[in-house]
Amino acid sequence: MRIIKSVSQLERWREQIISKQKLDGVVISVCGGTGCHAYGCKGVKDQFAKNIRKDDAEHKIRLKFTGCRGFCERGPIVTIQPQGVFYQRVQEKDVPLILSQTIEKGKVLDHLLYEDSTKKRKVASEKDIPFYKAQHRLVLGNNGLIEPTKIEDYIGMGGYQALAKALFEMEPGQILDEITASGLRGRGGAGFPTGKKWEECRNTPGDYKYIICNCDEGDPGAYMDRSLLEGNPHSILEGMVIGAFTMGANQGFIYVRHEYPFACKSAEIAITQARRAGLLGKDILGSGFDFDAEMAKGGGAFVCGESTALIASIEGKIGEPRSKQVHTVTEGLWGKPTNINNVETWANVPLIIRQGSQWFSSIGTEKSKGTKIFSLVGRVKNTGLVEVPMGISLKKIIFDIGGGPQNGKKIKAVQTGGPSGGCLPASLFDLPVDFDSLTEVGSMMGSGGMIVMDEGTCMVDVAKYFTHFLEEESCGKCLPCREGLKRMREILAGITEGKGNGESLSLLEELARVVADTSLCGLGKTAPNPILSGLRYFRSEFEDHVYRKRCPAAVCTHLIQYSILEGDCTGCGACKKICPTQAVEGDRKKSHRILSELCTKCGSCKDVCKANAVRVQ
Amino acid sequence: MGFRPVDEIVGKYQGKKTALISILHDVQDQYNHLPEGALRKVALKLQMDLNDIYGVATFYKSFSLTPKGKHSITLCLGTACYVRGGPRILREMKKDLNIEPGQTTENKQFSLNAVNCLGVCAIGPVMVVDRKYYGEMNAVKAKRIIERMNKKGNGGKS
């Protein structure tokens, strides 16, 4: 790799990369996101590599192993350029066929195409798939085009041009104005204006300053930061160097959860490459500006997503938050001014610098600009990462992009904002998705988890789940959070076990208010949100549990019964064979029966029943 | 044991105290857990109080002071996996292996972990067995994977 010492050298390098890429001919991209890994994408990639080598076709076919393309549920995903063919659920055995038919003869393989079930037709290109159609993939779009381990791919796409512009055509003050004018707000959860944060850090006097990229992504059900760092790490690094130049920072850290092994590797490789190319370190691009970055690994603590706890963790200490009377921008890492932004925020920075604040602020709503990546997951048909302009309605995301219900069950809620957020009922699905609208109705944007729930999801159980989650993740430093969460979880557990009484709900509400008012950090302050939003929108479900000892969603094991529907049972015997407690009886080819006194409600019979004859009530 | 690899690990991070968490990760990779002797050596090398190191090693969930089993089974209980039936899988795994999350079977074959999100939410419920990811799991599928592993090795129920 070369060392780039000036803008003209960077430009020359880019031109060389582009002219070399023109010789590539066909490009086969295999998605290497973690979701596709679970479906065996590595085997598919290896098969391609083997066959291409065997055919001696390396000079005319470029094989790319890219980052996550978002439509994880349909993995492994393979795309072929320049034809623009989008194949899904590709298996190793399909590889020779793709090479001999699609690559050699230009023939599209029908069985690997996505089927649009609403129109009952096969779709050959990505842009025609409903899941992608309504999206606006500014930040995530390049994930499918570049190989994250190759800095050349990023440079070829115009990477580090924003940095060159920032270093040589702009003053730090101008960059700050541009970020402020763009209206960019923090993508990590709270939506604090990025420009304001940068300004405070910039104005704080100090001989040494730090910036941090927060990839602790602890919100369960959200994985956009992981996918960005895995799939396009240089865009984040570029954003960080621009930020460092603006604020006068000397050193940066990318803090990654250790549960993300691919992201850790990707960040490390990108840092090494950028350093070797002269895009990190001393005298970046010959500008005289020095800045370096390194990766820090987390240890599996949710609270470390909180800025002061994260700082403690980088310092090698226990991840306990501290009171925020003094902001981290004035006194952060090792007591020095420190600016922390989330992965997606950093990734937006190069886009704004390159294309201007005016362009950026033309997307989105009045107070929430740009796009936001959501992980659309749970009980919805099309699951994956979706990037949409701010202000789009929940309905559009869940039904147009997500394709609606998964198994014909009615969708009743969507959970946003992670454990600090809340569950919103279907009656609010016309709501525009932006920072302020979601907060107004008792939830929040959070880092972008969007977990769809249907009739089969019990809202009391969900409230119990989040409270238990937060109880486990509470660092234990302050009493309201440590003790309050435990008591609230106990009350909720009692309700799901049919032990709730007339006082349970009012006691829950009272405790929730105390915990919210008196906890030290954001974790405790927002911890009661799942309970409060549950009671606000789904009170009747809570009351069913308390007063009628019934779980309408048939989830809470103490309140449900398993049975076999006589007319639907084919008597295949699969349930009888799998039942661990011999609670199923019946002769072959005759309807079976569940003996409730032996049944442990494990649900295995339902898992194996092909006739869908097992009922839970 | 002289815990010689610890020298190398601490050296890799230039003996920086701030790299403690990364160092502990590497020590755990080396020994499959954090042995007391290794922690004492880390303390000595970094010139830190053993107390502080113990604090960090017990605060963060990824560290274990007791040896882990030959195979690690991790079940995701993130929200997306949860609403798609993750808890039921965990319940069955607990029953099958006769251990609680965080524990290891007596024959040291399996360690069971429940984590709060692995970031593979679109294909939940997710289970990771020895670093291999499995999506769209249910209790029956999970049992079959464990059975297969039992047959392959000499493992068995504790």
**Residues in chain B where the model's pLDDT stays below 70:** 1, 153-158
**CA pair distance A606, A388, nearest whole angstrom:** 37
Residue A31's region, left for phi above 0, alpha for psi from -120 to 50, else beta, is: beta
Any idea which fold A561-616 has?
A: Alpha-Beta Plaits (3.30.70)
Average pLDDT, chain A: 93
Please check whether residues B46 and B105 belong to one and the same domain: no
Based on the fold, state whether residues B77 and B128 are members of the same structural domain.
yes
Q: Are residues B53 and B84 in the same domain?
A: no
Of the candidates B84, B92, B97, which has an alpha carbon nearest to the alpha carbon of residue B124?
A: B84
CATH of A371-454, one of 3.10.20.600, 3.40.50.300, 3.30.413.10, 3.30.420.40: 3.10.20.600
Count of domains forming chain B: 2
- Condensed to tens digits (0 to 9), the pLDDT of residues A325-345 reads 778 888 899 999 999 999 999
CA distance A30 to A87: 10
Cβ–Cβ of B25/A299 closer than 8 Å?
yes
Query: Domain check: are B120 and B148 in the same one?
Result: yes
CB-neighbour burial class of residue A386 (10 A; exposed 0-12, middle 13-18, buried 19+): buried
- Taking the Cβ of residue A455 and every Cβ of chain B, the question of whether any pair is shorter than 8 Å is answered with no
pLDDT tens digits for range A27-85:
999 999 988 999 999 999 999 999 999 999 888 899 999 999 999 999 999 999 998 99
- Chain A residue numbers touching B78 (CB-CB < 8 A): 220-221
Comparing CB atoms, the residue among A258, A469, A472 nearest residue B25 is A258
Q: How far is A38 from chain B (nearest CA, A)?
A: 5
Q: Are residues B54 and B76 in the same domain?
A: no
Domain assignment of residue B66, yes or no: no
DSSP-derived letter for residue A82 is T
Q: Give the tens place of pLDDT for each residue, A492-535.
A: 999 999 999 989 999 999 999 999 999 988 889 999 999 999 99
Residue B80 placed within a domain: yes
Residue B77 sits in the same domain as residue B142: yes
Confidence of residue A559 (pLDDT cuts 50, 70, 90): very high
Q: Is residue B65 part of a domain?
A: no
Q: Output the six-digit token pair for B110.
A: 């399996």
Domain ranges of chain A: 26-81+85-124, 151-361, 371-454, 459-547, 561-616
Query: Cβ contact (<8 Å) for B119 and A315?
Result: no
Q: Are B52 and B86 in the same domain? A: no
The pLDDT confidence band at residue A601, using thresholds 50, 70 and 90, is confident
| B146 to chain A, closest Cα gap in Å | 15
Contact status, residue A464 vs residue A492, Cβ threshold 8 Å: yes
Residues B43 and B76 placed together within one structural domain of the fold: no
Q: Are residues B77 and B113 in the same domain?
A: yes
* Contact flag B56-A602 (C-beta cutoff 8 Å): no
Number of H helices, E strands in chain A: 26, 19
pLDDT of residue A330: 87
CATH no., domain A26-81+85-124: 3.40.30.10
Cβ distance of A220 and B80 shorter than 8 Å: yes
Task: Look at strands A251-256 and A371-378 and give their pairing.
Answer: unpaired
For the record, the structure tokens of B13 come out as 């991070």
- A278 Rama sector, left if φ>0, alpha if ψ -120 to 50, beta otherwise: left
Establish if B35 belongs to a structural domain: yes
pLDDT of residue B1: 56
How many CB atoms lie under 10 A from the CB of residue A371?
26
CATH number at residue B107: 3.40.30.10
- Identify the pLDDT of residue A261: 87
ipTM of the complex: 0.88
A234-271 per-position pLDDT tens digit: 999 999 999 999 999 999 999 999 888 889 999 999 99
Q: Is B158 among the domain residues? A: no
SS3 A26: strand
B88 and B148, same structural domain?
yes
Domain A459-547, CATH among 3.30.230.10, 1.20.1440.230, 1.10.3720.10, 3.10.450.630 = 1.20.1440.230
- Asked if A470 contacts A512 with a C-beta cutoff of 8 angstroms, the reply is no
Same domain, B114 and B54: no
Q: Structure tokens of B59? A: 């605060």
Residue of A nearest to B138 (CA): A607
**Which amino acid would we find at residue A356?**
G
Give the 3-state secondary structure percentages of chain B, helix then strand then coil, rounded to 5.
Answer: 50, 10, 40
Task: Determine, yes or no, domain membership for B64.
Answer: no
Distance CA A47, CA A53 (A): 10
Sheet containing A411-416: which strands, arranged edge to edge?
A: A384-389, A371-378, A449-454, A411-416, A422-425
Chain B neighbors of A609, CB-CB under 8 A: none
Asked whether residue B121 is domain-assigned, the answer is yes
Is the domain of B54 the same as that of B117? no
pLDDT of A123 reads: 92
Note whether residue B38 is domain-resident. yes
Fold category of A151-361 in CATH: Rossmann fold (3.40.50)
Residue ranges making up the domain that contains B22: 4-59
Report the gap between the CA of A330 and the closest CA in chain B (Å).
21
Tell which phi-psi region holds residue A51, choosing left (phi > 0), alpha (psi between -120 and 50) or beta.
alpha
